[in-house]
Amino acid sequence: MPKPSHLSRLGVAKEVTPGTPVAATAWVPYKTLTPKDDVNLIEDTGQRGAPVDVFGLYPGQKGAELDLGGDVFADTIGWLLASVLPDLVTTGASAPFSHVFSTLCTGDTQPTPQTWTIADPLNTWQYPGAQFSELGFKWNADGLFEWSAKAMTWPYATTTTPTPSYTAVPPVANWAITNKIAGTNTFVQDGELTIKRNVTVIRGSAGTQNPYRIWTGDVSVEGKLTLVMEDASQRTIFQAGTAQSFDCLYSQGAGAAANGLTLHCSQVAYTEGTPSYGKEYIELPVSFTAIGNTSDVGASGGYSPIKATLQNAITSGTYK
């Protein structure tokens, strides 16, 4: 009998020891969820006097990949932000709290590993040691503010069925998002912003099929915007190679229930900016790259290409 996929749940928790699974402490509404188990079978190709390619297959080292996505909720999105921007400073004596995420430039520079849990009608699968290579945001005229992400993890472990509970914070409609270029509110038809990190699975001979560590590298930020070309100012900026600031933000609620997210890049430079004449008005699709700077940093100083500020009722010490 088929098993209903809509009964599957997605949970997350921070780990104490990388690769050691922990029970989910938060449950994340999702739209896309694809785990890929990496078995890495080893082929025995030693010739034995026969026109045969493979004479045996043996277990190799294991791991997994996660491809996730959903709508932005101002509490659960903090888990994703901490997974790529681990310099986290939380302020506030009571809700709403402010969580500022940026590039960690001290210590080992690594995000705290996370266990992502998939509880489905067949079993409960824990994917520990998760390190994310990508966290992207998309918005347009329709629908809800969306995120997507990719991670590398250790092989799954199974556990007992948990009791999930979900956020009461509402998602945000795309029309409520404000975009600013050089500090000025700017009409954007659709936009994307993606935070990326190189992720390397370190493997070796150590008597285990698990990796030694999943290691993250440099942080980069890139994006795309579709602008209505009311004048030539942004095309001129593209031609001049001038860096300027960019913000994507929203806020909702009031008092202790106030919540929102601001994605701020102090310096972005257009890498593409060619007018489009395919509609009855002129559009300017632009692509940009964020530049590491000393304005978007957190407590660790150094440089960061982005600073994300999240407001919600989540207390300090939750995400990291």
Residue 283 CA neighbour count, 13 Å, CB half: 14
pLDDT averaged over every residue in the chain: 97
Cβ atoms of residues 74 and 311 within 8 Å: yes
Long-range contacts of 90-96 (CB under 8 A, 24+ apart): 90/315, 90/316, 90/317, 94/256, 95/256, 95/257, 95/312, 95/313, 96/255, 96/256, 96/257, 96/258, 96/259, 96/311, 96/312, 96/313
Residue carrying the six token digits 């995120």? 147
pLDDT at position 30 is 97
- Summarize pLDDT for 101-151 with one digit per residue, the tens: 999 999 999 999 999 999 999 999 999 999 999 999 999 999 999 999 999
Gap between the Cα atoms of 255 and 236, Å rounded: 42
- Summarize pLDDT for 37-81 with one digit per residue, the tens: 999 999 999 999 999 999 999 999 999 999 999 999 999 999 999
Cβ atoms of residues 286 and 236 within 8 Å: no
Q: Could you state, in order of their start, the residue ranges of all structural domains in the chain?
A: 5-39+61-159+171-312
- Summarize pLDDT for 210-230 with one digit per residue, the tens: 999 999 999 999 999 999 999
Q: How confident is the model at residue 1 (pLDDT cuts 50, 70, 90)?
A: confident
Enter the DSSP assignment of 73: B
